[in-house]
A = this chain, B = another copy of it.
Amino acid sequence: MTALKPLVQALEELDAHLYGQDFLLTWDKSAAEIQSVLLVAEALRTLYRQNIRATCFESGLAISNFRDQSTRTRFSFASAANLLGLAVQDLDETKSQIAHGETVRETANMISFLTEIIGIRDDMYLGAGHTYMLEVAAALDDGYANGVLPQRPAIVNLQCDIDHPTQAMADLLWLKEYFGDLAALRGKKLAMTWAYSPSYGKPLSVPQGIIGLLTRFGMHVHLAHPEGYNLIPDVVTRADQQAQASGSTFTHDHDMDAAFDGADIVYPKSWAPYAVMEQRTALLKTGDRTALNELEATCLENNARFKDWECTEARMQRTRGGKALYMHCLPADITGVSCTAGEVAKSVFERYRLETYKEAGAKPFIIAAMMLTSRFKDPAALLAALEQDGVPRTR
C-alpha cells in the first residue's frame, strides 16, 4: 500500500462539504472538514515528496490581494497555486483603480472571469477584514448566480482581523505530524501567551486563530496575557465553549508562569491590546497622524511594563519535562538577535529554530488543500487519480 492510500481512504470516510465554500474562519468548518483539509494537505505533500505532479488546473488564476505586508504567506500562496497549476496574479490596490472609488462588488467580479481562487489578507482594521471578505463573497455569489461569472472563485482567508486560518491550520498539521496523529493531542496542554515585543500594533489574529482551533481537539488551552491585552471577546467565549464541548479545559488569566507550568506546547507571541486596536482602527480611518503617533508612544510605553513576559530558559523549565514544543508563526522578536528585549530568549529560539521552520513548511500544503477542497467535489478521487497517473513533477 502506498503512502497516499491511507490518506485517501481516511478522506473518503469523512462527511465534508467544502466544495463551493470559502475558507474564512476555522470555526465555520465541521471537525470532518478540518480533518479533510489536513488529509488533503498531507496527501499533496506525499505526492510532492514522491515527485508526482499535482496539477489539477490546466489554466486559471489565483489572485492574491494583500492589504498588508507579507513574505511567508505570499510565497506560501504562490507555491500552493503553482503546485495545483494556477497562475498567481497580484491585485495591487496601489496600482489599480480600486483606490479611485470602485466598489468592492464591481471589482470582485471584474477580476474573476477566469479566476479559481482569491486569497485575501486584510488584518489592519478591527471589524474590517472579515467584513471585507464577506462583501467580496457576496459579490461573487451575485455574479455567479446571475451568469456574470462562469465559475465561482473560492476565497481563502490569508489573515483577517478575527482569524488566521492558514496559520492555525498549518500549526495544527505540524502538531499532528510532531505528535503522530490528531488523537495524540487529546489531553495535551498548550500555552498561548502574550510576549513582550518592542513593536506595536501586531494583529490579534494569530492567538485568536490558535485558541479558536486547538480548543476543538481535546487540548487544554491556557491563554495568558497582561491585563488590558484582551482578544476579541467573542473568540475567547467560543474557545471556552469549544474546550468544554471537547472534554478539555480553557484557562484564561494573566499569569505566564502558570500557563507554562506542565505545558506540552508553548506559543509565546506578542499582540496589541484589543482596546488599542480599536482606537487605532478609528484613528486610521480619520487619518489623524498625530493621534496615531501618540497612541503608538503610549502603547510602547505600556508594553515596556511587561518586558518580563519573555519565553526564557527558566520558563521553559516549568513545562513538561522542561521540553515543551516551542511554536511561533515567525518572524519572532528574539532577545539579543532582532532586538535587545523580545518575545523569546536567543537560546530557546535557537533550540527550536528548525521546528519553527518545519511548522512554517506546512503552510503551502494547507493553502493548496484549501484551494483544492473548495474547487473539487471529490478530493479523494482526484488525489487517487493524480497518484495513478504518476506524472513526474520534474523529469
Which residues of A are at the interface with B, using a C-beta cutoff of 8 A? 48-49, 53-61, 63, 66, 69-72, 74-76, 78-79, 82-83, 85, 87-89, 91, 95-98, 100-103, 106-107, 109-111, 113-116, 143, 146-150, 330-331, 337-339, 354, 357-358, 360-361, 363-364, 375-376, 382, 385-386, 391-395
Contact B59 A113 (CB under 8 A): no
7 of the cross-chain contacts (CB-CB < 8 Å) are: A48-B150, A56-B395, A71-B91, A78-B89, A106-B330, A106-B331, A143-B357
Contact A88 B85 (CB under 8 A): no
Contact B375 A110 (CB under 8 A): no
Among B59, B116, B148, B337, which residue has its beta carbon within 8 angstroms of that of A53? B59
Q: Known contacts being A148-B361, A331-B100, is A59 close to B393, with CB within 8 Å?
A: yes
Contact A61 B79 (CB under 8 A): yes
Chain B residues positioned under 8 Å from A337 (CB to CB): 103
Contact B71 A111 (CB under 8 A): yes
- State the CA gap A150–B382 with chains docked (Å): 23
> Chain B: which residue is nearest A142 at the CB level?
B354
Contact B392 A58 (CB under 8 A): yes
Contact A101 B338 (CB under 8 A): yes
Contact B146 A115 (CB under 8 A): no
Contact A394 B58 (CB under 8 A): yes
Q: Known contacts being A148-B354, A338-B101, is A78 close to B87, with CB within 8 Å?
A: yes
- State the CA gap A358–B113 with chains docked (Å): 10
Chain B residues positioned under 8 Å from A100 (CB to CB): 69, 331
Contact B393 A58 (CB under 8 A): yes
Contact B71 A364 (CB under 8 A): no
- State the CA gap A363–B110 with chains docked (Å): 10
- State the CA gap A98–B63 with chains docked (Å): 22
Top-3 shortest CB links A-B: A71-B96, A53-B58, A79-B114
> Chain B: which residue is nearest A364 at the CB level?
B113
Question: How far is the CB of A141 from the nearest CB of chain B, in Å?
Answer: 13
Question: How far is the CB of A44 from the nearest CB of chain B, in Å?
Answer: 10
> Chain B: which residue is nearest A57 at the CB level?
B394
Contact A59 B83 (CB under 8 A): yes
- State the CA gap A150–B111 with chains docked (Å): 33
- State the CA gap A78–B57 with chains docked (Å): 16
Question: How far is the CB of A370 from the nearest CB of chain B, in Å?
Answer: 16
> Chain B: which residue is nearest A75 at the CB level?
B111
Chain B residues positioned under 8 Å from A63 (CB to CB): 75
Contact B110 A358 (CB under 8 A): no
Chain B residues positioned under 8 Å from A83 (CB to CB): 59, 114
- State the CA gap A395–B55 with chains docked (Å): 9
Contact B357 A106 (CB under 8 A): yes
> Chain B: which residue is nearest A83 at the CB level?
B59
- State the CA gap A71–B100 with chains docked (Å): 11
Chain B residues positioned under 8 Å from A150 (CB to CB): 48-49
Chain B residues positioned under 8 Å from A91 (CB to CB): 71, 75
- State the CA gap A48–B87 with chains docked (Å): 16
Question: How far is the CB of A105 from the nearest CB of chain B, in Å?
Answer: 9
Question: How far is the CB of A113 from the nearest CB of chain B, in Å?
Answer: 5
Among B98, B339, B360, which residue has its beta carbon within 8 angstroms of that of A71? B98
Contact B147 A358 (CB under 8 A): yes
Q: Known contacts being A59-B53, A79-B115, A97-B69, is A375 close to B394, with CB within 8 Å?
A: yes
Question: How far is the CB of A3 from the nearest CB of chain B, in Å?
Answer: 14
- State the CA gap A48–B147 with chains docked (Å): 14
Chain B residues positioned under 8 Å from A97 (CB to CB): 69-72, 331
Chain B residues positioned under 8 Å from A56 (CB to CB): 394-395
Q: Known contacts being A148-B358, A393-B57, is A110 close to B71, with CB within 8 Å?
A: yes
